[in-house]
Amino acid sequence: MADPALVEELRNGVRKICSRFPGSYWRDLDARRAYPEEFVDELTKAGYLAALIPEEYGGAGLGVTEASVILEEINRSGGNAGACHAQMYTMGVILRHGSEEQKRRYLPEIAAGRLRLQAFGVTEPTTGSDTTQLKTTAVRKGDRYIVNGQKVFISRTEHSDLMVLLVRTTPLSEVKKRTEGLSVLLVDLREAVGKGLTIRPIRTMMNHSTTELFFEDLEVPAENLIGEEGKGFRYILDGMNAERILIAAECIGDGRWFIDKAVRYAKERVVFGRPIGQNQGVQFPIARAHVQVEAADLMRFRAAELYDAGLPCGAEANMAKLLAADASWEAANVALQTHGGFGFAEEFDVERKFRETRLYQVAPISTNLILSYVAEHVLGLPRSY
């Protein structure tokens, strides 16, 4: 169980930082599709992005429960934790599977904010959710790996020093199971760009700094292999429950922001001589969205508690992500509807947050894939793909 006093302290600390970055800050970045450098710097300096790094490596040594509260508060304040959330879970691959030398080399630097590990390269244009079919290869030549292939929607590569990259090191035809033969490389983006790696930004419906990557004989030192060659898929899966819980918390933050915003507006906006919120047609959808956010929050804390206790939590983490993403999307719709025409005006921030929270139906895992997981692994139904 997380210490309630510590959780409260974290909430207050993050809120204080977020209060210096109001809607106008995020709106301006959104218009320019720019990265929130100052915000990420402040969070890093205050140690929040190193929440999950153990104290012996310079981090705060907290659990996923506390880390999730940090991200929730960012989104609840009207900001977007998507700019920096990956640092919390990508470093987990090094922490759990890296050598002691790799941990000592990278984790304290990440914790101190001197290195950013914000990029996580898995998705590919031709294989999508079918991760084990990915086509990017790394072939060992002496003390290097030679990487060739392409990735898509890899976020924050232009704002990160390092990237955790999933590649195939043994061809599919030579492995017994398709989950074998994949490996994780730590790519130093500062050295790679222009020397075998080309980054091309993808402009999306929200400000997300996502990119397309092209690898042409990129050389990566063999010492940057994390763990054992061929076991990379398992390493990536290990981190996914944490990722699901953290993303669920962001959705909860979004949901609460939308509901606060809708309630405030419904009380203030007077039409037909009374506040619109006096009409049940306006207040019931807000109340329903609130109920759904609160219910999803219980599953998020349940999943986080199991994770922090080292217990299996695949089902709960997936269910938390699905429930929270659905709840935030419903709350987004309700907030937009409650604001009428003003919901579409940029200065209210509703349309921006609406666009931002829609992502969670698709990334980092789409709702259908979660339903497949629950059907197959929780309910024992036949595998559908």
Closer by beta carbon to ligand FAD, 12 or else 133: 133
Among residues 76, 97, 208, 244, which is the contact residue for ligand FAD, using CB under 6 A? 208
**Minimum distance of ligand FAD from residue 379's CB (angstroms):** 15
Among residues 175, 369, 374, 375, which is the contact residue for ligand FAD, using CB under 6 A? 369
Residue 301 in tokens: 């804390």
Binding pattern for the stretch 140-159 against ligand FAD, x by CB under 6 A and - elsewhere: -------------xxx----
Binding pattern for the stretch 176-205 against ligand FAD, x by CB under 6 A and - elsewhere: ----------------------------x-
**Minimum distance of ligand FAD from residue 271's CB (angstroms):** 37
**Minimum distance of ligand FAD from residue 231's CB (angstroms):** 18
Closest CA to 94 of 106, 84, 111: 106
Does residue number 133 form part of the binding site for ligand FAD (CB under 6 A)? Answer: no
Does residue number 123 form part of the binding site for ligand FAD (CB under 6 A)? Answer: yes
Closer by beta carbon to ligand FAD, 193 or else 263: 193
Contacts of 188 (CB under 8 A, 6+ apart): 161, 162, 224
**Minimum distance of ligand FAD from residue 273's CB (angstroms):** 44
Does residue number 263 form part of the binding site for ligand FAD (CB under 6 A)? Answer: no
Among residues 287, 362, 374, 375, which is the contact residue for ligand FAD, using CB under 6 A? 362
Does residue number 385 form part of the binding site for ligand FAD (CB under 6 A)? Answer: yes
* Residue of minimal Cβ distance to ligand FAD: 128
Closer by beta carbon to ligand FAD, 170 or else 372: 372
Does residue number 272 form part of the binding site for ligand FAD (CB under 6 A)? Answer: no
Q: What is the rounded CA–CA span in Å between residue 348 and residue 126?
A: 38
Does residue number 368 form part of the binding site for ligand FAD (CB under 6 A)? Answer: yes
Closer by beta carbon to ligand FAD, 309 or else 371: 371
Active site residue: 243, 316, 330, 351, which one?
243
Closer by beta carbon to ligand FAD, 61 or else 128: 128
Active site residue 243: yes
Torsion, Cα of 170, 175, 180, 184 (10° steps): 0
Closest CA to 170 of 215, 125, 139: 139
41 and 83 Cβ atoms separated by less than 8 Å = no
Residue 193 in tokens: 């760009």
Does residue number 120 form part of the binding site for ligand FAD (CB under 6 A)? Answer: yes
Does residue number 167 form part of the binding site for ligand FAD (CB under 6 A)? Answer: no
Instruction: Catalog residues that contact ligand FAD under the rule CB under 6 A.
Output: 120-123, 128-129, 153-155, 204, 208, 210, 359, 362-366, 368-369, 372, 384-385
